[in-house]
Structure 1
């Protein structure tokens, strides 16, 4: 699959509109790497979780990988944030 570089604004706009799996995955990558945003594993986990729920298989692997660096409390916060995001979108 081809990888496209999107600006943070474009990805956030697409994700905010209900976001496809790829846009949500890109947001996860941005937060995971600190690209155009401050690095935040809780946010990265949230977006990888949302992307995985929408069918992005790669997001599942990334979510698992970063969860190994996170506390149970951080993972719970990411999951709660993902549920809240789903209620709004």
Structure 2
């Protein structure tokens, strides 16, 4: 198995987003990050799924999962709102607050054009 580093630099982002790929399937995360930077709600949702399940080369991280589900829900993705609620049931109030802070930071950075 080879490791590849994929560096994404969205046009409207101040900083680059880096994703580590260990298999061909891990490109989903890199592709979703690029699409999410342009406000694609389905990509935001897919990132939430990846982080909530620890799949596609990312570790399970409920804070990140909540962030992505929250951003997708704000963009109108109905299933994301349900997934955000499910993830919230497994989180502390501090973890939810951190996820919300990260979502606001993502929006402030100009990475979502939607």
TM-score, normalised by the number of residues in structure 1: 0.89
For residue 7 of structure 1, give the secondary structure of its aligned residue in structure 2. helix
Match of 2:101 in 1: 80
Tell me by how many angstroms 1:47 deviates.
0.3
Match of 1:27 in 2: 47
- Of the three residues 72, 80, 85, the one matched with 1:64 is 85
Tell me whether 1:43 sits opposite 2:64 in the alignment: yes
Tell me by how many angstroms 1:8 deviates.
1.2
- In structure 2, the gaps of 5 or more residues are 1-24
For residue 91 of structure 2, give the secondary structure of its aligned residue in structure 1. coil
Give the structure with higher Rg (CA). 2
Superposition CA RMSD, Å: 1.3
Regions of 4+ moved over 3 Å: none
> Take 1:49 and 1:72, find their aligned partners in 2: how far apart are those partners?
15
Aligned residues: 84
> Take 1:67 and 1:85, find their aligned partners in 2: how far apart are those partners?
19
Residue deviations 1:27-79 (CA, integer Å, cap 9, x gap): 00000000121110000000000000000000000000010000000000000
- In structure 1, the gaps of 5 or more residues are none
TM-score, normalised by the number of residues in structure 2: 0.70
Tell me by how many angstroms 1:19 deviates.
2.5
